[in-house]
Amino acid sequence: MDEPMPAPTENPRSGLRRKSTAQAADRLSAIIAQEKGAARAVEGKATLDERMASLAAALRRARVENADHSAALADLRAAEIARLEILADALAPVLAQVPADCDIFDVAVSPSERPRLFIDQIGFVEMDRDRRTYRFLQDTRHGRVTLIESEKIDALVDAVTNYIAHRLIERERALAIDYASGGAARALRVDSAAQSAGEIGALRGKAFQAFLFVVEFLGSAAFFGMLAVIALWAYRTYIAH
């Protein structure tokens, strides 16, 4: 009968390699866990500002939802203002692209008896009687016209964006016409004339001051000369004799 083969003995070097491999794997797992924790912390910090920025919009939406279940006039008016403020927030990225030297757009909610979101002096948005539909209106020479009516904010944002673009083009044309008709040249001439008038006025003021100085000097000389004559006459009349 064949004798059983002896069991192979474990190589010490293989055990050391397995131990070092396990330790390296543990260190790698710890590094990965630390990186994930740091990434979650950065992500949480980045989203914190977004959550805080969206809190105002969430409050407005809550007012609208509460007003939908209430028939109080004050709540309905507050709901209109909240809806208009939500639209104003949606228009903020568009208004941020308006040139800095353009001051024709002053977007703000007017909390009057009939709340309105004014885009400029002739265009504004208000809520319809159902307190849900937005109405974009414009005052023209032929009366007030409705540009769009919709319950969707995206449709209003597109309409107001197109309105702002057309108003900017009208502004550029008005500036070009004014320049072509000599408006800029007239403005330059007016500025030059005003500057020349200011210089002439300054010269006149200096000349008048010099004239007053001469008059004061001559008056003082005549006064002291008269005193000398009187003194000489008194000396010859009363003292010399």
- pLDDT tens per residue across span 21-31: 666 666 656 66
Q: How confident is the model at residue 123 (pLDDT cuts 50, 70, 90)?
A: very high
The pLDDT score that the predictor gives to residue 15 is 54
Degrees to nearest 5, angle at CA 115 with 126 and 158: 30
CB distance 60 to 86 below 8 Å: yes
Q: What is the pLDDT of residues 76-118, one digit of tens each?
A: 788 888 899 999 999 999 988 988 888 888 888 988 888 999 9
State mean pLDDT over 28-38: 62
For helices 73-95 and 153-180, the axis angle rounded to 10 degrees is 50
Residue (of 138, 126, 119, 148) closest to 81 by Cα position: 126
**Residue 179: its pLDDT value, please?**
64
217-237 pLDDT, tens digit per residue, is 787 888 788 878 777 777 777
For residue 163, what are the contacts with CB-CB under 8 A and spacing of at least 6?
119, 123, 136, 138, 147
- Find the range with the poorest average confidence among 1-5, 186-190, 222-226: 1-5
